[in-house]
Structure 1
Amino acid sequence: MSKKSLFAYLGTLIAFLILDGLWLGVVMGPTYRSLLGSLMLDQPRLLPAGLFYLLYVFGCVVFVVLPSASWQRAARLGALLGLVAYGTYDLSNWATLQGWSAQLAVMDMAWGTFLTAACCTVGYLCAQRVHR
């Protein structure tokens, strides 16, 4: 793994953990709990959560951050990847889970779109700081 790839991955991962941690833990935690009720665990399962973050950030870096030629492109492609990934998850849940509402799907898709765009931008900027 090159230094540029490592900086891209770490920058994207750190941004993702900070922003999503604030979103889930502080800003929207009570809202998710009220909308999902018994579908939510009292405490998240850390292993699958950690695996999700590692895998999703890997996809962000491979498909968006490293191929992008500018931070604007990283932001646009990140938004698209976020919409597709979160949309797949949210629309599937809305289609199959009784407690998953259209309101929740739209809210979560908007967050995933913004979050992925922002984190891919941070990852791109971190990667550009590395001298080859």
Structure 2
Amino acid sequence: MRDNIIKFLSSICVSMLAIFLCFAVLDLIWFTFISGDWYQQEMQGLMRTEFIIWPWLAFYFLYGGVTFVLAVVANRDKPIYYAGIDGALLGLASYGAYNLTSYSILEGFSLFIMAVDWSWGTFLTSVCAMAGWAGFQKVRPKIDQK
């Protein structure tokens, strides 16, 4: 019993770590090698000269936790693609709320950036949810599985 509790808690930790690492690595690749210039060109007048880290960290820790609950835990007994679908839906709603609101109220927030960022967020959340699901399954106690 104690071993199962330890394994279950470990599966949560491994899943969360997989989600956070996936977000960090993919967003680093995205902003560094793929889209950084697009954001710089399209949002010149809106971007800070110095990046403030704490809001970014707060968002990703909160968002990673929500991804875990809504996409990983909700689909722990289903195939991985269910976590991917729920992750995509979460990304669609979350990044959609941000991008649609930004586009509607910020003069320099372009339709191009809205579409690119919204698509990226949907894809990113889906992949991170699947990484979290895989991490959860890796350590999950056998007694918990159906």
Q: TM-score range by the shorter chain?
A: over 0.9
- 2:109 aligns with 100
- % same residue: 31
- 1:44 aligns with 51
- 2:144 aligns with none
Opposite residue 62 of structure 1, the aligned amino acid is V
Distance 2:12 2:116 in 1: 31
Q: Give the TM-score normalised by the residue count of structure 1.
A: 0.95
Distance 1:37 1:83 in 2: 25
Moved over 3 A (4+): none
8 A contact 1:3–1:130 mirrored in 2: yes
8 A contact 2:92–2:118 mirrored in 1: yes
Opposite residue 116 of structure 1, the aligned amino acid is T
Q: Computing the radius of gyration over CA atoms, which structure comes out larger, 1 or 2?
A: 2
TM-superposition CA deviations, 1:86-120 (whole Å, max 9, x none): 00000000010000121111111100010000110
Evaluate the alpha carbon distance shift between residue 78 and residue 58 of structure 1 in structure 2; reply closer, same or farther with a 3 A threshold: same
Distance 1:29 1:87 in 2: 20
- 1:11 aligns with 18
Distance 1:70 1:12 in 2: 17
8 A contact 2:38–2:113 mirrored in 1: no
Aligned equivalent of 1:75, options 72, 81, 84: 84
Distance 1:106 1:40 in 2: 18
Unmatched segments (≥5 aa) in structure 2: 1-7, 142-146
Once superposed, what is the RMSD of the aligned Cα atoms? 1.2
- 1:120 aligns with 129
